Amino acid sequence: MISKLPVVLFALSAIQITAFPRLDAYGVKELTSLAKNSGECPHLSKKDKAECPHLAKNKELKRQTTFDPTAQRVSTSGDYDWVAPGSGDQRGPCPGLNALANHGYLPHNGVADIPTIVSAVNTAYGMGIDLGTFLAVYGSLFDGDAVSLDPGYSIGGPATSEDILGLGVLGTPSGLSGSHNNYEADTSATRGDLYVVGNDYLLQAAPEQYAALFPFRQTQFNNSIATNPYFFYPQFAGVFVSPAGYAFPPRMMANHSAEYPSGYLDKASLMSFFAVTGESGAFNYTPGWERIPDNFYRRPLSDPYTIPAFILDVLAFGILDPRLLSIGGNTGTTDSFTGLDVSDLTGGVFDGATLAQGNNLECFIFQLVQAESPTMVAGLYGNVTAAMQPLAESISSNLAGLGCPQLGAVSSDMYDVYPGYTMAKGV
C-alpha cells in the first residue's frame, strides 16, 4: 500500500553498498538540475569557479561519447517486467539493487550471488566490472556468506530462507540492512544518521533548494557533527562509500539519448528509481517498489563507471573539504569531531596531507581495507583466510601497477576513542 508521508519527514530508502542511497523527494528537483552538470564540470578542476555547477550550456560540455539505442536500452518488459516484492522478499537500503530485483535482473527474493550482482549492475546501470566486483565481494564478506559455493548476500535483512549454518559462517549474515560502519555510514546524502533517527534506511527531508552537490555534501557532514554524538566516519564506509550517495544517481541513473549522450537525469526518472509518486508537497513513497523507468538507456559500456572514475568524484569534494578524506568522528558529544592522524594509523606509510595526490587515496583505502578486514570478520567465519581470499584477489587486481607504498600493521586500537565505532563492533 502506498503511504502518504508528512511534509516534515519524508521517508525513502537508502544504499549501504551504499551505492545508491535513497533520495529524499524534496531534493528530486534540485538533484535533477545538478545531475546534468556534475559530470561535465567537476569541482576538482577549479575550486573557485562557483558558477560551474549552474552552467546552462550543458550540451556543449558533455563527455565525448556516442549513443547506441540498441546496445544501451535497458529492458523493462517480458522477463524484466516489474513485479512488486512479496512478503518474503528482501528489499533493503539500496534503491538501485531493489529495482534490479523487482525487474528480475537480480533474483526476486533479493538474495544474489556475486556474479549475478556484478552482471546486473553492469547491464542495467553501466557500473564498471571493477567497481561492481569489489563492492559485491566486500558485501558478501561482511554482510553475506563469502565461503559458500555461491558467495553472495541479501540486499535487505537476514535471508530467512537460507540455511547457511555449517558452511563456515558463524551465525546468520545480516544483509545490507545491518551493515552500519561496515558498508553503510553516517553523513548520507538523503537519510538520517543511524543513532539519531533510530534506523539507517529511512530518509530525512533534504533542503528544498541547494546550489550544488558539494555545499550540500558539506552541510550533511556538518549536520552529522552537530547532531550525532556517535558520528563515526571510517575509511571505507565513510571516505569511500558515503560519497556514492552524491555521485551514483547522476552517474548511473541518468537517461541517455542522441541529444544527451552523456546522460540527463530528469525528475520522473529519479522518482521512479526511488519509488516516489505524486507531486511536490504530496509525495507518496512505497518502500521496496523502486523501478527502472521505461525507455531507460544506460551509460554506454564503452564508458563504464569504474573505480578510477569514482575515486575522481571522491577527490573532487575531498579537495574542497579535506575532512571528507579523513577518518574520524565525534567522541561522545556533538561538535567534538576529531580526525585520526593517518600517519600514526599507518605507521608513517601514508600521510593525510598527501592523500589527494597521485594514487595515494586509492592505495590507502584498499590496503587499509585489506589490513583491517581479517580482524573485523574474525567473529563471522571459522576460516578467515578462506573468507578473505576473494576480497584479497579483488584488491590485488585493482592496485596492480599503481606503485602503492606497502602498508604493514595498522594501529586499529586508535578507533576506540570513537563511541560510534565501538557501538558498531560486530554489526
Q: What's the pLDDT score for residue 320? A: 83
**Percent above pLDDT 90 for the chain:** 38
Asked if the model's pLDDT at residue 207 lies above 80, the reply is: no
pLDDT value at 43 more than 50: no
Predicted confidence band of residue 90 (pLDDT cuts 50, 70, 90):
very high
pLDDT bucket at 115, cuts 50 / 70 / 90: very high
pLDDT per position as a tens digit, 326-375? 899 999 999 999 999 999 999 999 998 888 889 999 999 999 999 988 98
**Residue 65 cell numbers, joined:** 561519447
Lowest mean pLDDT among 39-48, 155-164, 289-298, 311-320: 39-48
CB burial string 338-363: b at 16+ within 10 A, e below: eebebeebbeebbebeebeeeebbbb
Cα distances (Å, whole numbers) of residue 293 to 79, 130, 154, 298, 378: 15, 26, 24, 11, 42
**pLDDT beyond 70 at 91:** yes
Give residue 319's pLDDT.
83
Q: What is the pLDDT of residues 211-269, one digit of tens each?
A: 246 777 888 899 899 999 999 998 888 888 888 877 888 889 888 999 888 888 777 88
* Banded model confidence at residue 99, pLDDT cuts 50, 70, 90: very high
pLDDT per position as a tens digit, 372-389: 889 888 888 889 999 999
- Classify burial at 29, counting beta carbons within 10 Å of its beta carbon; exposed 0-12, middle 13-18, buried 19 or more: middle
Under the banding of pLDDT at 50, 70 and 90, the label for residue 396 is: very high
Asked if 104 and 340 touch (Cβ cutoff 8 Å), the reply is no
Task: Compute the distance between CA of residue 344 and CA of residue 223 in angstroms, rounded to an integer.
Answer: 28
Q: In sequence order, what are the residues at sequence separation of 6 or more whose Cβ sits closer than 8 angstroms to the Cβ of residue 133?
A: 114, 118, 394
* pLDDT for residue 418: 93
Of the ranges 27-41, 53-67, 127-141, 315-329, the best mean pLDDT one: 127-141
pLDDT above 70 for 55: no
Of these ranges, 48-57, 169-178, 193-202, the one predicted with the greatest mean pLDDT is 169-178
The confidence score (pLDDT) of residue 178 equals 65
Q: What is the pLDDT of residue 28?
A: 41
pLDDT at position 274, please? Answer: 85
CA distances from 51 to 30, 56, 222, 346 (A): 15, 10, 23, 38
The pTM assigned to this predicted structure is: 0.78
